[in-house]
Structure 1
Amino acid sequence: MEQDKKTKRLGALWGKYGFVLLVLLAGVALLLWPTEPKEPPGQGQTETVREAESLAETEERMRSILSEIDGVGQVRLMLTLESTREREFMQDTELSYSGATAAPDDYTRRSEAVILSGDDGEEPVVVRNVGPTYRGALVVCTGGGNAEVKLAVTQAVAALTGLSSDRITVVKCQS
């Protein structure tokens, strides 16, 4: 009889909380499920991110591309920068308060870059990488007197630099 009461109580509890228990057990099973080992940083990447190109390299590459546009001819190019490449690093920040928690008297903040150790040595973890921002572009070319060439060059420079067309000047070079 005592055993029968326990069985009925257990059945009632299972009916009431059985679904919650099953979900909880499934969550624990997923947490314990073995995963494939993660590759160490640097491996599996076919190409490392190239550091900031110099302005001269960028101008040379663009000059080479622009000279291939029909009717452009010889090209000279000058780019001006608003800002250079910026990198934002992951920070490990610690705040310390003194006094009551509701209204602290003073606090200190300590922050340091997160460093990742790998086969290539130690490197800071980069959160955001922003390329250079251009201020303007001047293109001097043989075909700069032709409206179609001006439009094609302006569109190409705008596509490569993100500049609006009012910040790009295309002119014909001296004969």
Structure 2
Amino acid sequence: MDSKLLPLVNKIKSLKHKERYIVIACVLGVALILLSELVPSGSTKKADDGMDYQEYIVSLEEKTQDIISSIDGVGKCKVMITLCETDESFYASNIEENTDSGHISKKNEYVFYEDNNNDSPVLIKQTFPKVMGVAVVCQGGDNAFVKERVISAVSSLFGISSAKISVSKISR
């Protein structure tokens, strides 16, 4: 064993039972912290890792189509969803205000984090637009009972009025 470590090991051996465990736990804790710096972390989320606008629409349409096609009498269906505006992202920023001799000046800077040697802004929140209207074309679209259930389901899913939902029979 290294001559520099031998006195330290002997000192640890001379400690009482509980104290020895505390020292060992501290050493393991420091070792884990050092190891965590070496292992790349997948938990940091880049601003552009979120779902984009087109993926959002496609996902909504697919999920809605799956739900509607499982309603009795609907059969095969297609769904198109229109949205209000586009998505919106909110980033963290530092705001500095100076009031000097009656003049107010503001300085606004985005907060960045380093990820793989790139600076990325810190995304606080990303909102997607609300559903404006839904068109459903299905095999059972000419049946009034089926039409009512589809309109009810879509209205419940997106919180929109029945006037913004169109249900039609699929053409052959």
Measured in 1, the distance between the counterparts of 2:156 and 2:53 equals: 18
- Structure 1: any 5+ residue segments left out of the alignment? 1-36
Q: Which residue number in structure 2 is paired with residue 90 of structure 1?
A: 92
- TM-score, scaled relative to structure 2: 0.61
Q: Which residue number in structure 2 is paired with residue 138 of structure 1?
A: 135
Q: Which residue number in structure 1 is paired with residue 43 of structure 2?
A: 43
SS at match of 1:83: coil
Give the alignment's Cα RMSD to 1 decimal.
3.1
1:119-153 per-residue CA deviation (whole Å, 9 max, x = no partner) reads: 68543222332122221111111111223322222
The structure-2 alpha-carbon separation of the partners of 1:158 and 1:42, relative to structure 1 and needing over 3 Å to count, comes to farther
- TM-score, scaled relative to structure 1: 0.60
Instruction: Read off the aligned partner of 1:71 and give its amino acid letter.
Output: G
Instruction: Read off the aligned partner of 1:51 and give its amino acid letter.
Output: M
Measured in 1, the distance between the counterparts of 2:153 and 2:68 equals: 8
Measured in 2, the distance between the counterparts of 1:60 and 1:146 equals: 23
Is the 2:84–2:131 contact (alpha carbons within 8 Å) kept by the matching residues of 1?
yes
Alignment partner for residue 113 of structure 2, among 112, 116, 141?
A: 116
Measured in 2, the distance between the counterparts of 1:153 and 1:138 equals: 10
The structure-2 alpha-carbon separation of the partners of 1:53 and 1:156, relative to structure 1 and needing over 3 Å to count, comes to farther
Q: Which residue number in structure 2 is paired with residue 65 of structure 1?
A: 67
Q: Which residue number in structure 1 is paired with residue 159 of structure 2?
A: 162
Measured in 1, the distance between the counterparts of 2:150 and 2:59 equals: 19
- Structure 2: any 5+ residue segments left out of the alignment? 1-32
The structure-2 alpha-carbon separation of the partners of 1:71 and 1:117, relative to structure 1 and needing over 3 Å to count, comes to same
Structure 1 stretches of 4+ with a deviation exceeding 6 A read none
Is the 2:53–2:86 contact (alpha carbons within 8 Å) kept by the matching residues of 1?
no
Instruction: Read off the aligned partner of 1:135 and give its amino acid letter.
Output: M
Instruction: Read off the aligned partner of 2:147 and give its amino acid letter.
Output: K
SS at match of 1:140: strand
Measured in 1, the distance between the counterparts of 2:89 and 2:124 equals: 8
Moved more, 110-119 or 79-88: 110-119
Is the 2:81–2:134 contact (alpha carbons within 8 Å) kept by the matching residues of 1?
yes
Is the 1:72–1:141 contact (alpha carbons within 8 Å) kept by the matching residues of 2?
yes
1:57: how far off? 4.0
Q: Hey, which of these two has a bigger chunk of helix by percent?
A: 2
Is the 1:89–1:127 contact (alpha carbons within 8 Å) kept by the matching residues of 2?
yes
Measured in 2, the distance between the counterparts of 1:123 and 1:44 equals: 11
SS at match of 2:71: coil
Larger radius of gyration: 1
